Amino acid sequence: MFSNVAKVVLFRKTIDWKLVLWLGISSTVLAIGGSYLTTIVDLQYAHLVLGIFLVGFSAFFYLNPDFIINPTLKNSVLGGSLAGFLAGFIGTGGAIRGLVLTSFNLERNLFVGTSAAIDFGVDLSRTIIYLDNQYLERSMWMYIPALILASFLGSYLGKILLAKISQTSFRKILLILVFIMGVFLILGWG
């Protein structure tokens, strides 16, 4: 959550608030549902299914760089719903949201700012439920100041690096990272 606050502050001028609203509301509502579901359901194959999905779609978008999905209300709500639910249930919705925003072919700064704004709402909603179910022990709270500092420093360095790469390279790097995340989930390393 701290990382998203840092990115929202650093990329505040490049946020598509329409997409934040469309993806954000559906993501946040479904994140609450997904995180609540973790308290009653144990779905052991969820990471495998998510991994296969990430590998397949990231490979598709990488191999078809001209394929673009229009960021319509319907596409945004569907993508946001899927990403939010998985963020709440499995804890990994950012990769799905990354694929959705990549399919919309957003400019890299717009991508980062918009994604961070959406993710902030998702993280805030699921954090409340996680804390209520005592997923974060009080002994870990002492690390919060260091996490805040690391989040702002990492986000600032990321913004500097982002300015040095092209839009095409950004998209390729993002899709490669999503692919690797999918492989890790399939192998049980995620």
The tens digit of pLDDT for each residue in 85-134 reads: 887 888 777 888 889 999 999 999 999 999 999 888 878 877 887 788 88
Determine the angle formed by the axes of helices 144-162 and 108-132, rounding to 10 degrees. 160
Distance CA(152)–CA(103), nearest Å, equals: 28
Q: What is the pLDDT of residues 28-37, one digit of tens each?
A: 888 888 888 8
How many C-beta neighbours within 10 Å does residue 87 have? 27
Mean pLDDT of 20-47: 83
Length of the chain: 190
Place of tokens 């999918």: 182
Distance CA(73)–CA(87), nearest Å, equals: 21
Distance CA(14)–CA(46), nearest Å, equals: 34
Question: How many domains would you assign to the chain?
Answer: 1
Task: Give the domain range for residue 59.
Answer: 2-187
Distance CA(46)–CA(190), nearest Å, equals: 11
Please give the structure tokens belonging to residue 38. Answer: 């973790």
* Of 46 and 104, the one with more pLDDT: 104
CA 33 to chain CA centroid, Å, is: 17
Give the lowest-confidence range in 86-90, 148-152, 184-188: 86-90
Distance CA(136)–CA(91), nearest Å, equals: 14
